[in-house]
Amino acid sequence: MEQLIHHYSYWRAWTRLVSRFFCFMWLVISGCSMVSHQGPNENVEPSDISLQAKEKADVNSIEIVSENVEPSELTVDSIFVLDSEFVPSIGAIVPEFASPRVIETTNEILEGIRVALDIFEKSNKGFRKPELVVLPAGDDIDRVITKLKELPEWQILGLLTPLQESLVRRISEQAGLTIPIISLAPASAEHSPQDIISIVDVADPSASKALAQQAISSGLSTAAIVHSREVGSTFEAEVFAEIFRELGGTILGSFDYPAGATFFEDELRSAEALLPDVLFLPVPKQDVELVAPQVTFFGLDSLGIRVFGTAAWSQDEVLEVVDTRHTNGVVTASPYPVDEVFPAHLKFVEVYEDLFQRSLPGLSPSLGFDAASLLFKGIEMGARTNEELGEALNRIIDFPGTTGILSVEDGKVLRKHFVACLQDRRKTRISPIEQAQPILMPPLPDPETDSIPEDAPDRIMGFRCSQSIQ
């Protein structure tokens, strides 16, 4: 009996080995790229991550399996890694032929994914090594679609891609995919909540909600809105109005201007005539430099009207070029808290610099990291199938990413926004019940008598954050 069991075990092991070998050979022939993982202390130059399939350069480097790999190069260990009880595998559809800048950005996204692989592996010792299948999307989209139809064979749970949403939707529909997809490209105006989860440049309601709550909690009960007709600006204006009304406030009027406008007298004068407590300006970044000086030029702040603006107002490149007279006292909201750095970002930078031996080049690696980390978070929540991962992603709330505190809602990645007050090109803390304080100056003399009446109130000359009051 023991001899029979021994022969059976030997036969079963041999069968599994042969099966895995042919599975691996099928992957190689299919032309896709399998990225294996590397530890943080095994240094790799950024050029080691390429969209082109290439030979294995080093035993310890990232390996993108070439279509020309000979069977003799395969090892028993590499075969066994491909087949286990559960391998946390994700995929990435990336551009193969594009401008140097697009290729550079894509490589940086892949670097961010690489960091997510590293951190996930070290935090989840119970899993096998996480894997990334890279599918280059060249001129032959049909070839990519054919490979995507075979994805279940690789047990890939989710996909990431920087390709344009329209192209991704075409690929997904023709391939009949049911795999969750996180897009790193700007979402279109027709973005479908049940289609592709977008992590960048989505109209985010969080800033408008936070600012409406701030206004009401600090006793400001009436508001006027001036906004661009651009989709994002209009969306933020509508969200603010809805939440402001729900909380008991009154929207006295809303005025829009065409995209690309440079002069806003009509809209600002119309808002001024209503004498609201708040002027809400959810304008695009490129418009802040033009709108802010006109608010003070037409004297809206001298009437005691407080200015609220969304995240564009607090961006460094905006604050550097706009005179502080036009931004001091503005209440704004952004995904980044005042004078704080997210722990997840610090960890990300530490691992990134250790892996690639260079400083973080920009935002692209961070977006790649956050997108991959959301997929891995779904796996940590228990997802083992595409359907389970899709459900898990939509349950993620307040996930600590490197680009913010992330939540997934209706097919969008939203970032928690923090309210702040702008002062001398810096964001300062403001409590939920605080207001920016008016700057009071003595009243002007009466032009006829050249004297100041005894009961004349002080003039309001703009606002400043309460922390600035001596």
Contact at 8 Å (CB) between 360 and 353? yes
Q: How many CB atoms lie within 10 A of CB 444?
A: 9
The sign one gets for the Cα dihedral 373, 374, 376, 380 is: positive
CATH fold match for the domains 2-179+345-403 and 206-338+417-468: yes
Q: Which helix (H) or strand (E) holds 308?
A: strand 306-309
Tokens found for residue 98: 């594009």
451/381 Cα distance (integer angstroms): 73
CATH topology of domain 206-338+417-468: Rossmann fold (3.40.50)
Beta-carbon contacts of 311 under 8 Å, excluding residues fewer than 6 positions away, are 207, 332, 333, 334, 335, 417
Do β-strands 156-161 and 181-183 pair in parallel, antiparallel, or remain unpaired? parallel
**pTM of this structure:** 0.76
137 φ, ψ (degrees, to nearest 5):
-105, 90
The domain 2-179+345-403: what is its CATH number?
3.40.50.2300
For residue 219, which amino acid is it? G
Taking only the tens of pLDDT, the chain with its 470 residues reads 444 334 434 444 444 443 444 343 333 333 444 554 444 334 333 333 333 333 322 323 333 333 333 333 333 333 333 334 788 889 999 988 888 999 999 999 999 999 999 999 998 887 888 889 898 887 677 878 887 877 665 678 999 999 888 888 888 888 888 889 999 987 765 555 556 898 986 678 999 999 999 999 999 999 999 999 998 999 999 999 999 999 999 999 999 999 999 999 999 999 999 999 999 999 999 999 999 999 999 999 889 899 999 999 999 999 999 999 999 999 999 999 998 889 999 999 999 999 999 999 999 999 999 999 999 999 999 999 889 999 999 999 999 999 999 999 888 899 999 999 999 999 999 999 998 888 877 776 777 777 777 776 767 778 889 754 43
Please report, for the chain, the start and end positions of each structural domain, with discontinuous segments joined by +: 2-179+345-403, 206-338+417-468
294/265 Cα distance (integer angstroms): 8
Measured N-to-C along each axis, helices 206-217 and 231-246 cross at an angle, to the nearest 10 degrees, of: 40
